[in-house]
A and B are shown apart, each in its own frame.
Chain A
Amino acid sequence: MNQDSPDKQIDRSAKFVFCFFISSAGLWLLAAAFFAYLSVAKLTDPFFLSTCEFLTYGKVKAAQVNAFVYGWGGNAIFAVSLWILARLAQAEVRGSIFLIVAGVIWNLAITFGVLGILDGHMSGHEMLEMPTEVWPAMLVSYLVILFFSLVLHRSRSTRETIAPQWFVLAALLWFPALFLIAWNGMELDVARGTLQTVLSMWYGQNLIWLWLTPVALGAAYYLIPAILGRTIDKYYLAIFGFWCIAALAPWSVVHHLEGGPFPMWIPAIGTVMSIAMVFPIAVASTNFHSTAFSDLSKVWSSLPLRFVIFGTLSYTVSSYIGVVFSLPDVAKITQFTIINEFHFNQRVYGFFSMIIFGVVYHALPKITGREIPLVAKSFHFWTSTAGVLLLLLSYLIGGLTHGVLAGQPALPWASSVIDSLQPYFLITKFAFVLLGFSQLVFVLNLWKVIFPNPFACCRSMVKEVDA
């Protein structure tokens, strides 16, 4: 048994944890897809489920975002980070039982959080909607997972660290700091007036830039060379890209506050720093794409890599678009429009989730020894690609329409500005149905691979825990 290669042993040690986190992430992905469908169905028909108080548009929207970011995002981050850290440290995952207990608490906290939102205990601050009662449970369980990730990293066999480790570790470490800052300003020592809004905007956008983004970038830095069997081109730039994101991203995110009741220096700094963000975006883009495009046929034939490259391309394009939209003259039109949805879905769907899918398809056969059928994988890839592109294009064009029409004060609001968005809402509704099917296929196959025979699997897990 112990004659296996070290990689196999590491994978075996990570199996239990990885499978637990990724299968719960899958469930959250489906929950988020369900809420996403409800919310756009409500935009196209305001009477849809309108008598049900638990499902007002605002609640469903918040539930979708939280299920997506903390449920799917959080669990996927735990699974992917632990596996990548273990592989790169060449060390076995330890403390599985604590990790699982923490994971269960994390998932319970999010479940109660989302139910709390539907029950009307919502705070109204983006990404902080979940009732404050669940925050302690989230923080404690997160810290446990963080602790074991750091232990894992410390037990690495080589002192030298590489780009994937920096990104993943930084993301894992940033989250509790951001969360504590938000908690302090929202609950313990409540900020007065619009300071609350500055803080919630800073927190919510940083969550995407400093938590989801680095994990996905780290995964791409790991997976592209691993699958292609070549080194990252111009790797010496990666360290510059990493510190640029670390130093600039927390400054750039506040450009969304343009024009509002805040001191003018806040959005002004945000805009300047957003423009400076072209450097780290260019670095990551160069690293990924000049490596990948040197062997396009291999990228195309490897499905996990196709997911990852879609994600990195999407990251590049969306980030540059984000820079353009942070300019005050453009923000004048695009601010407060459904372009917000474009940004959110581009980040967490087109970029983060696609890369996570790639990692899962790459890691799952190694860890469980079973493959997801190629047909299912291909179906997932093509429907996701089509769905994401459809979704993003309609939010982008719809958002510009929204902004341009809103800027003409003579046009009545409901009957002409919002009415002209209806076609785009319809397209996004279709896109969400498509994505919902796509995710359903993904999650069903994921569960089938992880639990090929539910009862036998439980027994083997119990055995593993005993061992």
Chain B
Amino acid sequence: MNNLGKFTIGIFLTLGVAWLAFVVGARSQYGDLSPTSQSLEEDGSVPADADLFPKGFSGLAKQGAEEYASLGCVSCHTQQVRRVEAGFDVERGWGKRPSAPRDYVLQDHLLLGNSRIGPDLANIGMRGYSDEWLHQHLFQPQSLVPASICPPSPFLYQSSDEPGERSIRSPVSSDEASLQFLRPSLRAVRLVAYLQALRQDYELPEVAFVESKEKESDASSETVEETAPDASFPDWLSLQIEQGKEVYMKAAAGGGMCFTCHQVNGSGLEGQFPPLAGSDWVLGDKSRLIKIMIHGLMGEIEVNGVKYNNVMAPPGIPPGSLSDDEIANVLTYVRNAWGNSASAVSSDEVAAVRLSLKGRAPMQMFTSSELTQPAQ
């Protein structure tokens, strides 16, 4: 301890051993990972014509990674799905499988993060958010997710009264008269390209998709439910009903996830969620239903003489993301399933209602009294 030279060698030796393990050792263990196919041949080789994963980012997305780092998004968002036994990440729907070291080999700039004040973003591109939704969220997260504490980034956008090329609707426009538009800057475009490119939607030889509970419930629903659309329907109507049913049952991006509350057989849940089968609302005025589908519904509502009080966010994953077609189809389905029989809903009708609601903020839900009042 008294000889400075020996002391220095000693303390560098202890540090050096750890350095050998975590820096040199880890590098020689997996520093040369390369993209591979989703599954390997029996002899461990990559099939000749297989697609290789992970795919590299586009140039725009790579620039987006730099913007992401520069703005400091990494201080609240991780980009890693933990192993099933080490956390709840897969259960929360943040990924179909745990992340593996190989997922990151083509990224120049690793932004795994270490803190989750915001949700994990390893698979944000897989969750079906539209570019417009992401832009609106970057501009002002609270307009889409009211409870969010993600800071708005208005400096990435230019506001204007006139819609221009590539401009999007401002999420803070309150009514039709003061409709605002946003022109995303190049930086915002890069950022959204990067977010959309974050997806681990392939399997790797070392890690397969986790069987999700959602799939199990899907499978069980298949057996409970009476299926085949009535043969007496014309082809276009059966097609619409079939597609509508898909939306009703789908609990992933592009779906409505309706069955989770209204149940597979449209019965609802006593005291909590109103039934759709035989419901006076479902079989009644179409425009009311379309309004609910676009903006959601909250507060007390009386269905078939029974009162319910709950909140229905605008359906879709993410909320309010269903297209006119999807809304038309799913409404047509619920109006013609489980013994219901009412006229079909067309996407034009949905578009017309949507236009009439143009000024309304996306998350401003309807109340039943608002819907039952005579139109002004």
Q: Which residues of A contact B (CB under 8 A)?
A: 42-44, 46-47, 50-53, 56-62, 120-126, 150, 153-154, 159-161, 166, 169-170, 173-174, 177-178, 181, 185, 190-199, 201-202, 210, 239, 243, 246-247, 250-251, 254, 256, 258-263, 266, 269, 328, 331-332, 335-338, 340, 406-409, 413-416, 418-419
Known: A260-B112, A413-B119, A414-B149. A56 touches B71 (CB 8 A): yes
Task: Please name all residues of chain B whose beta carbon is closer than 8 Å to the beta carbon of A56 when the two chains form the complex.
Answer: 71-72, 151, 153
- Inter-chain contact A263/B29, CB cutoff 8 Å: yes
> Mind listing 30 A-B residue pairs with CB under 8 Å?
A44-B149, A46-B151, A50-B151, A50-B154, A51-B155, A58-B75, A59-B71, A61-B72, A122-B72, A124-B110, A124-B111, A173-B12, A193-B31, A195-B23, A202-B23, A246-B10, A250-B19, A254-B22, A261-B99, A261-B101, A261-B103, A262-B26, A263-B26, A328-B86, A336-B113, A408-B88, A409-B91, A414-B147, A415-B146, A419-B147
- Inter-chain contact A166/B7, CB cutoff 8 Å: yes
Known: A246-B14, A337-B116. A332 touches B86 (CB 8 A): yes
In the complex, the number of residue pairs spanning A and B with C-beta atoms less than 8 Å apart equals 217
- Inter-chain contact A195/B151, CB cutoff 8 Å: no
- Over the window 1-40 of chain B, the binary record of Cβ atoms lying under 8 Å from chain A Cβ atoms (1 yes, 0 no) is 1101001101110110111011100110111110000000
- Inter-chain contact B11/A174, CB cutoff 8 Å: yes
Query: Counting CB contacts under 8 A, is B163 at the interface?
Result: no
Within 8 A of A (CB), among B63-86: 68-76, 78, 80, 82-83, 85-86
Q: Residue of B at shortest CB range from A259? A: B86
Task: Please name all residues of chain A whose beta carbon is closer than 8 Å to the beta carbon of B147 when the two chains form the complex.
Answer: 414-416, 418-419
- Inter-chain contact B15/A250, CB cutoff 8 Å: yes
B165 to chain A, nearest CB (A): 24
B59 to chain A, nearest CB (A): 19
- Inter-chain contact A336/B152, CB cutoff 8 Å: no
Cross-interface CB contact of B100 among A190, A198, A261, A419, cutoff 8 Å: A261
- Inter-chain contact A50/B114, CB cutoff 8 Å: no
Q: Whole-angstrom distance between the alpha carbons of A3 and B95 in the complex?
A: 75
Q: Whole-angstrom distance between the alpha carbons of A263 and B102 in the complex?
A: 11
Q: How large is the interface on B (under 10, 10 to 19, 20 to 34, 35 or more residues)?
A: 35 or more
- Inter-chain contact B83/A58, CB cutoff 8 Å: no
Q: Whole-angstrom distance between the alpha carbons of A269 and B17 in the complex?
A: 13
Query: Counting CB contacts under 8 A, is B309 at the interface?
Result: no
Query: Counting CB contacts under 8 A, is B87 at the interface?
Result: yes
Task: Please name all residues of chain B whose beta carbon is closer than 8 Å to the beta carbon of A418 when the two chains form the complex.
Answer: 117-118, 147-149
Task: Please name all residues of chain B whose beta carbon is closer than 8 Å to the beta carbon of A331 when the two chains form the complex.
Answer: 86
Q: Whole-angstrom distance between the alpha carbons of A256 and B22 in the complex?
A: 13
Q: Whole-angstrom distance between the alpha carbons of A124 and B68 in the complex?
A: 9
- Inter-chain contact A194/B7, CB cutoff 8 Å: no
- Inter-chain contact A46/B149, CB cutoff 8 Å: yes
Within 8 A of A (CB), among B168-203: none
Closest 6 pairs (CB-CB, A-B): A58-B72, A259-B86, A259-B82, A250-B18, A124-B69, A415-B147
Q: Whole-angstrom distance between the alpha carbons of A261 and B145 in the complex?
A: 29
Query: Counting CB contacts under 8 A, is B166 at the interface?
Result: no
Task: Please name all residues of chain B whose beta carbon is closer than 8 Å to the beta carbon of A266 when the two chains form the complex.
Answer: 22, 26
Known: A46-B142, A239-B1. A259 touches B23 (CB 8 A): no
- Inter-chain contact A58/B71, CB cutoff 8 Å: yes
- Over the window 88-126 of chain B, the binary record of Cβ atoms lying under 8 Å from chain A Cβ atoms (1 yes, 0 no) is 100111000011111111011111111111110000000
Query: Counting CB contacts under 8 A, is B362 at the interface?
Result: no
